[in-house]
Structure 1
Amino acid sequence: MLKIYNSLHNRKQDFIPLEANKIRMYVCGMTVYDYCHLGHARVMVVFDMVYRYLKAAGYEVTYVRNITDIDDKIIKRANENAEPFTALTARFIQAMHEDEQALGVLSPTHEPRATDNIPAMLAMISTLIEQGYAYVGSNRDVYYDVSKFEGYGKLSGRRLEDLRAGERIAIDEAKHDPLDFVLWKAAKAGEPAWDSPWGLGRPGWHIECSAMSSSLLGTQFDIHGGGHDLKFPHHENEIAQSEACNGHQYVNYWMHNGFIQINDEKMSKSLNNFFTIRDVLQVYKAEEIRYFILNSHYRSPLNYSHEPLDNARAALTRLYTALRDLPNAEAPVNSEAEQRFRAVLDDDFNTPEAIAILFELARDINRFRREQNDLAAAETAALLKKLAGILGLLEREAESWFKGSGIEGLADAAIEALIQQRLLARTQKNWAESDRIRDELKAQGILLEDQAGLTTWRRV
């Protein structure tokens, strides 16, 4: 049985969906005012892996990942650029989709945008006001009254009295309590605004996800995911809003992935210690980044440096080498390796252990090659590709992996031409010219391999 570490209870629990064989899952997506960084990549890849595995396990999955396309940062950046906020967000939504595609991230079932769901937010805020959980401040902002929600803090383990005593909170005369959070922001001059019963304004961040998730998945659903940094206050506030509005539990299983760190500090734009996905793709292949992320358990912190990405490159080279030059075959059904692979993923999506099983299969392929058992090698290679595909790995042809990089360098045709020149030099016993061409290609990141009269090449 699938077990998921539920952040709501801080332990692994048997996963029982609300509807048999159906899963409804919501993941907090990006605020689109800049390029995505590696921390965003981890959220994308982790929950893409979860989505892929749940589907492979036979569930019908409805996966919602939202886009926040209106907030303070977006307005500030658009003003700095002297452009409409819609132009800014359209540009970075496109860039985000390009990054996702590069990383092999599947499209979610639904990808709602905040600005398309204002009516649902207004309806939810109105209900909260009617039920006494929200109020209109003297500044015309609408606030959620956290003191009215008995369960506030149950996800993050924080108590209101501790928050008040332990944190410095700016005094705001418009609020009843410094901990109250905004549901609707009254419009300031020159800002984008929508009409509401409380005057022109725009939604607060927290209400966006409550409204969009409930609209598309119902007022209670199975899984809610996001980065660990969203646990408080964002997800805590989502619970408070949604459960006060609807009168029952909002989400059954909460999943939070760990941070990507640089020098043991969280990677974030606010700390200015981030690398965009596009930056890293100038040096590493997208699949190397995906492997780097999945080779650590999703809940663990992950430290960014060149060393683990170099290790990812070497590991994928080993796996693709095992697949090289083998005929197509059918994978064995329900093999012992596949049962173990699914068992470790059933244990809270333990991808490092799943990847270890992929390497066992690669070793088996190499052993079958040495034994000249081509059929067994080909069948095991088919199984390797099948299981790796559940993680979104090894989806390219082996030759494409070795010869394509996605990074600027010598074109394939130019490499092939130099190899032909080198073969001619070798037939003429011009070893100096042969070595010169090999060294030239090596300097360009191209490694030649001579076997049985044939020369193959790969990028390194």
Structure 2
Amino acid sequence: MLHLFNSMGRKVMPFQPSDPNQVRMYVCGPTVYSFAHIGNARPAVIFDVLARILRAQVPSLTYARNITDVDDKIIAAAAADGVTCDEIAARFTDAYHTDLSALGVEAPDIEPHATAHIGPMIKMIEELIGSGHAYEAEGHVLYHIPSFSDYGKLSGADPDEMLSGARVEVAPFKRDPRDFVLWKPSKQGQPGWDSPWGFGRPGWHIECSAMIRTHLGHQIDIHGGGIDLRFPHHENEIAQGTKAHFWVHNGHVTVSGAKMSKSLGNVLLVRDILKDTPGEAIRYALLTAHYRQPLDWTHDTPRASRAALDRLYGALRDQPTAEPNAEDIQPVLAALSDDINTPAALAALHELAGKVHTSSNPKRQAEIAAGLRQAGAFLGILQQDATSWAQAGAGETKRIEALVSERVEARANRDWNRADALRDELLALGIEVEDVGNKSRWRVRA
């Protein structure tokens, strides 16, 4: 039986859907104004694993993950590029799909776009005004936080500290500084729609609430996203009327111990990592820490993950087709059912791989290998041909050796700038070069 940590209540609980035959899960997707970074990829991978677990345990799952395609950041990106907001949104939606596909993330059952749900958003806003939770002021419609007594229950945020990190505009027309925007006016040239409050566009928070209600109903089983969304986004969704049995949040991704930020220049784009690292190795890396804990991405992370996959695929090579034994798969399923414990699940996979190598019975070896592959499917790994994986690794070795040879030639020609550039390129691949006389030796960075 699946157990999950519920952010509402802050404890691990048995997962009991409102309808055992039909589970409904919604995960906040990207705001499509730029390429996805590794932090954006983590919730996509984590909730992809959760969807796989649920599909194995319940008769039916409806999984929705939205696209936010109207937002101030999209407007700014369009202005900077001299194109329309629709062009920016379409470009980066396609890029998001491409990058996630490379990581083995399956498409959700439903992928609603915010701009296709303006009508439901306007209706919800009208309902919130009618119930006394929202008010109109100077062309804006704002949610009045003091009208909702349970505000802060999900995040445990102190009411006096709620403005910190909430990204709310402190405006003179607000009844309370914490009140957030449900609808705002659009300037000429900005995307907008006609509404009872004038030409404008929705606030971010109402978008998800309206899309959930449209596609999944008034009560869902799981609402997921990154920990940064717990407050204020998910807190605001609850105030708007979104109801979920479980609120599930994954931790941040840091880079060598530091928060990713443009100012530090350490934002790692998925597509850049993919240039030197197989998508499956990136996926593996994102599963090495428990989803609720921070995951630190270092220079050595891709190499370590690829090496781990080499060991697992090595146990699958030259094994004939066989039927898996449920007992072999059970430790992996048990770990994943225990609050998506992917580190324990990966450890169980490596234990299975070890048993393939140590078994002296060829029939049993094939059976364990079949279990290893089937168990790997729950994590979205080990589904490639093992020989093809090994050949791809051999190709990488040839690439490294070619770069080292080119660097030796550059040094012989006293082209020090080129030699230094090649050394940096090798370091980016996790390779250290040692120069001995007119020769060079390379090794994987420890």
Q: Assess if the C-alpha contact under 8 Å between 1:224 and 1:255 holds in 2.
A: yes
Q: Assess if the C-alpha contact under 8 Å between 1:281 and 1:407 holds in 2.
A: no
* Equivalent in the alignment of 1:380: 368
Secondary structure (helix, strand or coil) at the match of 1:117 reads helix
* Equivalent in the alignment of 1:211: 210
The range that moved more, 304-313 or 289-298, is 304-313
Q: Distance in 2 between matches of 1:105 and 1:166?
A: 30
Alpha-carbon spacing, 1:239–1:397, altered in 2? closer, same or farther (3 Å): same
Q: Which amino acid aligns with 1:292?
A: A
How does 1:213-292 map onto structure 2 within 5 Å? 213-242=212-241, 250-268=243-261, 272-292=265-285
Secondary structure (helix, strand or coil) at the match of 1:4 reads strand
Q: Report the TM-score when normalising by structure 2.
A: 0.86
Q: Does 1:327 align with 2:320?
A: yes
* Equivalent in the alignment of 1:433: none
* Equivalent in the alignment of 2:29: 29
Return the offset for 1:158: 1.6
Q: Which amino acid aligns with 1:276?
A: L
Q: Does 1:349 align with 2:340?
A: yes
Q: Which amino acid aligns with 1:400?
A: S
Alpha-carbon spacing, 1:169–1:61, altered in 2? closer, same or farther (3 Å): closer
Q: Distance in 2 between matches of 1:54 and 1:351?
A: 15
Q: Does 1:396 align with 2:384?
A: yes
**Higher Cα Rg: structure 1 or 2?**
1
* Equivalent in the alignment of 2:415: none
Alpha-carbon spacing, 1:192–1:256, altered in 2? closer, same or farther (3 Å): same
Q: Distance in 2 between matches of 1:40 and 1:269?
A: 15
* Equivalent in the alignment of 1:172: 171
Secondary structure (helix, strand or coil) at the match of 2:157 reads coil
Q: Assess if the C-alpha contact under 8 Å between 2:329 and 2:374 holds in 1.
A: no
Secondary structure (helix, strand or coil) at the match of 1:64 reads strand
Which 5+ residue runs of structure 2 have no aligned equivalent? 403-428, 430-443
Q: Distance in 2 between matches of 1:26 and 1:407?
A: 40
Give CA-to-partner distance per residue, 1:307-364, whole Å, 9 cap, x none. Answer: 23221111100011111111111112x21x3222222211101011111111111111
Alpha-carbon spacing, 1:410–1:377, altered in 2? closer, same or farther (3 Å): same
Alpha-carbon spacing, 1:405–1:341, altered in 2? closer, same or farther (3 Å): same
How does 1:62-141 map onto structure 2 within 5 Å? 62-138=62-138, 140-141=139-140
Q: Distance in 2 between matches of 1:143 and 1:275?
A: 36
Give CA-to-partner distance per residue, 1:65-87, whole Å, 9 cap, x none. Answer: 00000100000110111101111
Secondary structure (helix, strand or coil) at the match of 2:182 reads strand
Identity over aligned residues, as a percent? Answer: 48
Alpha-carbon spacing, 1:328–1:25, altered in 2? closer, same or farther (3 Å): same
The range that moved more, 159-168 or 234-243, is 159-168
Q: Assess if the C-alpha contact under 8 Å between 2:290 and 2:342 holds in 1.
A: yes
Secondary structure (helix, strand or coil) at the match of 1:83 reads coil
Return the offset for 1:134: 0.5
Aligned positions, number: 403
Q: Does 1:3 align with 2:28?
A: no
Q: Which amino acid aligns with 1:327?
A: P
Alpha-carbon spacing, 1:195–1:381, altered in 2? closer, same or farther (3 Å): same
Superposition RMSD in Å: 2.3
Return the offset for 1:165: 9.8
The range that moved more, 268-277 or 65-74, is 268-277
Q: Distance in 1 between matches of 2:60 and 2:238?
A: 25
Q: Which amino acid aligns with 1:354?
A: A
Q: Distance in 2 between matches of 1:62 and 1:77?
A: 33
Q: Assess if the C-alpha contact under 8 Å between 1:282 and 1:407 holds in 2.
A: no
Q: Distance in 2 between matches of 1:187 and 1:409?
A: 55
Secondary structure (helix, strand or coil) at the match of 1:291 reads helix
Equivalent of 2:352 in 352, 361, 373? 361
